[in-house]
Amino acid sequence: MTPEPSFDDLPTFDATKFEPPSWARTQFHQWEKNGESSTSQSGFDAEATSKEEYNEEVETGEEEDVWEDAQEEIRGDAERDRVVEPDEVRFTMDELRELLDLATKLKNEGNDVYKTKRYDEAIGSYLKALDHLPSVPNPNSTEKGEKEDTKKKTEESGIEEVNDEEALKIQQEEQNQIGLSLEEEERREIEDDVREMTKAVWGNLAASYLAIKDDKKAVEACTEALKIDPKYIKGLHRRATANERIGDLSALVAAKEDYTLLSSLLPSSSPLLPSIRKSLIYLPEQIKVEEKKQMDEMMGKLKDLGNSLLGNFGLSTDNFKFEKQENGGWGMQFQR
């Protein structure tokens, strides 16, 4: 028979195992039941005799400094880790010159291999050149935005707007009064050269894509060049050529728009005009053919959808006949 358990069988209680660690046995953690702090610990103000007084002293002392240091460190880390967008970078003039020289060298290398019909190598050189060309603000787009903002504010305020001649006179007077520094004028010239180089490289890249019949990439390259100069003749002509070869509805419409703009920009003696006028003659007919093709495709899909639904009732779209009425409308008749 198993003997009944007694308290003597229980393990003895060792209070030392439940003592707080040494770091917790400080004035910050130990307080007497009467609310007074122990003055035997060092490193703290002996006048702080209660927990409340001690907390008040700490809150106005080192903890504030530690908190401010931590905040400063966090702000520093955030600033270092912040991702800087390419448009936010402002290069020095020496850096701009160096990048422009490298891009020019790569562009010339691309031109040399393009002449020997090594188009893939030319594309590689042009892409490397673009990698070296920084993004610089376009003054034309900035001035356009400022003019639109001024016009909007004028319309809202009800004040009569000055004409272009008066605005130019005011602008010249302001420039004479303020004047651009020589350094700023030099920066503008370098940035203009960077934009022109970027436009030319995109144009040459488009020519290379056209040569290997990669028309979609040619369109993309021309579009990038035209963002810099919307009236860039080579960009407009190469994009129109690529879109004409692509041949779908949206591409043909875009080609017609570019050819129309080119016909208004080119001088009457331009050798490009005859082929442009020829394209403008037959493009409208091609657009109509593509529109009908797209309509037929859409109607075919609708017919298939209708047959899938009507098939549940033993019917099809062939059971419904549409006839044009004398008044120009359409009538529908059901037939077995």
What is the CB neighbour count within 10 angstroms for residue 51? 15
Mean of pLDDT values over 206-217? 97
Helix, coil or strand: residue 27: coil
Place of tokens 């308290």: 7
pTM comes to: 0.59
CA distance 219 to 242: 6
Q: Cβ distance 205 to 239 under 8 Å?
A: no
**So what's the pLDDT on residue 322?**
67
Burial of 249 (0-12, 13-18, 19+ CB in 10 A): middle
Phi, psi of 331 (to 5 degrees): -115, 155
How high does pLDDT run on average in the chain?
Answer: 77
CA distance 203 to 111: 12
If you classify domain 90-137+165-227 with CATH, what class do you get?
Answer: mainly alpha
With 70 as the cut, is the pLDDT of residue 79 above it?
no
Query: Where are any strands of DSSP class E within the chain?
Result: 320-324, 330-334
81 or 97: which leads in pLDDT: 97
Q: Any idea which of 15-19, 138-142, 287-291, 304-308 has the lowest mean pLDDT?
A: 138-142
Q: What single-letter amino acid sits at 126?
A: Y
- The phi-psi region of residue 88 (left if phi > 0; otherwise alpha if psi is between -120 and 50; otherwise beta) is alpha
Domain boundaries, the chain: 90-137+165-227, 247-306
233 or 177: which leads in pLDDT: 233
62 or 10: which leads in pLDDT: 10
CA distance 167 to 173: 10
Q: Any idea which of 114-123, 146-155, 203-212, 325-334 has the lowest mean pLDDT?
A: 146-155
With 70 as the cut, is the pLDDT of residue 50 above it?
no
**So what's the pLDDT on residue 157?**
47
**So what's the pLDDT on residue 51?**
52
Phi, psi of 21 (to 5 degrees): -65, 165
Mean of pLDDT values over 286-295? 86
